[in-house]
Amino acid sequence: GEFESRSHQCPHLPAARLEWASHYRACPLPGTVTLADESSQGFAWAFPLKCITPAATENNTAPRADCLFTSTSFRNGHGISLIASAITTSHLIGMGSFDDAPLPLAAQQRLSLGPAYKIVPVEGKGMGVIAARSIKRGEIIMTDHPAILIGTSFLANSKPHHRRRVLKQAIRQLPEATRKKVESLQRGKEEYEVDAILGPNANTVLLGEEGGGQVHVGLFAETARINHACRPNAHSKFSERRLTMEVMAHRAIEAGEEITMSYIPITTPIEERHKYLKEHWGFDCTCPLCRSSKDAIEESESWRRRQTSLKSTIEDARKQGFYEDAITMSEEWLQFAEWDMIPPLAPEFQDSLVDLYLQNGDMVNATRYARMAYDGWAKFGSVDDEKLEDARLMVNKIDKINEEKRQR
Ligand SMILES: C[S@@+](CC[C@H](N)C(=O)[O-])C[C@H]1O[C@@H](n2cnc3c(N)ncnc32)[C@H](O)[C@@H]1O
Q: Which atom of ligand 1 has the smallest separation from the CA of 286? A: 20
283 lines ligand 1 (CB under 6 A): yes
155 lines ligand 1 (CB under 6 A): no
287 lines ligand 1 (CB under 6 A): yes
274 lines ligand 1 (CB under 6 A): no
Residue nearest to atom 4 of ligand 1 (CA): 225
288 lines ligand 1 (CB under 6 A): no
128 lines ligand 1 (CB under 6 A): yes
Q: Do 211 and 334 have their domain in common?
A: no
pLDDT for position 286? 93
Backbone angles phi, psi at 12, to 5 degrees: -70, 135
Higher pLDDT among residues 105 and 54, named by residue? 105
Q: Does residue 289 lie in a domain region?
A: no
Q: Which atom of ligand 1 has the smallest separation from the CA of 188? A: 27
Task: Write down the ipTM of this complex.
Answer: 0.99
Q: For 161-167, what is the mean pLDDT?
A: 93
pLDDT for position 241? 82
Q: Do 315 and 376 have their domain in common?
A: yes
Q: Which residues contact 123 (CB under 8 A, 6 or more apart)?
A: none
CATH of the domain at 371: 1.25.40.10
Q: Do 153 and 276 have their domain in common?
A: yes
Q: Across the chain, what does the average pLDDT equal?
A: 81
Domain interval for residue 382: 294-407
Q: Does residue 4 lie in a domain region?
A: no
Q: Which atom of ligand 1 has the smallest separation from the CA of 281? A: 27
Q: Which residues contact 276 (CB under 8 A, 6 or more apart)?
A: 264, 268
Q: Do 263 and 370 have their domain in common?
A: no
Q: For 357-362, what is the mean pLDDT?
A: 90
Q: Does residue 2 lie in a domain region?
A: no
Q: Which residues contact 165 (CB under 8 A, 6 or more apart)?
A: none
C-alpha of residue 203 to centroid of ligand 1, in Å = 13
Q: How far apart are CA 24 and CA 331, in angstroms?
A: 27
Looking at the structure of the chain, the number of domains it has is 2
Query: Residues 355, 357, 363, 365: what is their CA dihedral angle, to the nearest 10 degrees?
Result: -110
Confidence of residue 288 (pLDDT cuts 50, 70, 90): very high
Q: Which of 103-117, 146-160, 285-299 has the highest mean pLDDT?
A: 285-299
28 lines ligand 1 (CB under 6 A): no
- What tens digit of pLDDT does each residue of 330-345 get? 888 777 655 666 666 7
pLDDT for position 382? 57
225 lines ligand 1 (CB under 6 A): yes
187 lines ligand 1 (CB under 6 A): no
Q: Beta-carbon neighbour count of residue 187 at 10 Å? A: 16
pLDDT for position 21? 33
Q: Beta-carbon neighbour count of residue 242 at 10 Å? A: 20
Percent share of the chain, pLDDT over 70: 81
C-alpha of residue 408 to centroid of ligand 1, in Å = 62
pTM over 0.90: no
Element (H, E) at 245: strand 244-249
pLDDT of 356 strictly over 80: yes
260 lines ligand 1 (CB under 6 A): no
Most informative mutation of 228, 258, 280 for ligand 1 (most atoms within 8 A of CB): 228
Q: Do 270 and 172 have their domain in common?
A: yes
Q: Do 262 and 307 have their domain in common?
A: no
Residue nearest to atom 7 of ligand 1 (CA): 127
C-alpha of residue 84 to centroid of ligand 1, in Å = 28
Residue nearest to atom 15 of ligand 1 (CA): 227
Higher pLDDT among residues 83 and 61, named by residue? 83
- What tens digit of pLDDT does each residue of 230-273 get? 999 998 888 888 898 989 888 899 999 999 999 888 889 999 99
127 lines ligand 1 (CB under 6 A): yes
Domain final residue, candidates 215, 246, 281: 281
Q: Do 241 and 357 have their domain in common?
A: no
Q: Do 232 and 322 have their domain in common?
A: no
Q: How far apart are CA 134 and CA 252, in angstroms?
A: 8
Domain final residue, candidates 257, 281, 305: 281
Q: For 362-390, what is the mean pLDDT?
A: 82
CA angle 34, 38, 39 (to 5 degrees): 60
Higher pLDDT among residues 186 and 8, named by residue? 186
Q: Which atom of ligand 1 has the smallest separation from the CA of 186? A: 9
If you compute the radius of gyration of the chain from its CA atoms, what whole number of angstroms results? 22
Q: How far apart are CA 261 and CA 387, in angstroms?
A: 22
129 lines ligand 1 (CB under 6 A): no
Q: Does residue 389 lie in a domain region?
A: yes
Q: How far apart are CA 233 and CA 260, in angstroms?
A: 6
Q: For 274-289, what is the mean pLDDT?
A: 92
Q: Do 170 and 319 have their domain in common?
A: no
CATH of the domain at 126: 2.170.270.10
Q: Do 274 and 319 have their domain in common?
A: no
Q: How far apart are CA 239 and CA 260, in angstroms?
A: 20
pLDDT for position 26? 34
Percent share of the chain, pLDDT over 90: 41
User: How many residues are given for the chain?
Assistant: 408
Q: Answer whether 170's CB lies under 8 Å from 60's CB.
A: no
Pick the range with the lowest mean pLDDT from 108-112, 152-156, 239-243, 303-307.
Answer: 108-112
224 lines ligand 1 (CB under 6 A): yes
Most informative mutation of 198, 219, 227, 261 for ligand 1 (most atoms within 8 A of CB): 227
Q: Do 315 and 221 have their domain in common?
A: no
Find the distance separating the first CA and the last CA of the chain, reported in whole Å: 22
Q: Does residue 56 lie in a domain region?
A: yes
Higher pLDDT among residues 274 and 349, named by residue? 274
Q: How far apart are CA 359 and CA 219, in angstroms?
A: 43
pLDDT of 23 strictly over 60: no
The one-letter code for the residue type at 206 is L
Angle between helices 294-319 and 323-334 (to 10 degrees): 160
201 lines ligand 1 (CB under 6 A): yes
Higher pLDDT among residues 165 and 408, named by residue? 165
Q: For 16-32, what is the mean pLDDT?
A: 31
262 lines ligand 1 (CB under 6 A): no
Higher pLDDT among residues 69 and 33, named by residue? 69
Q: Do 305 and 206 have their domain in common?
A: no
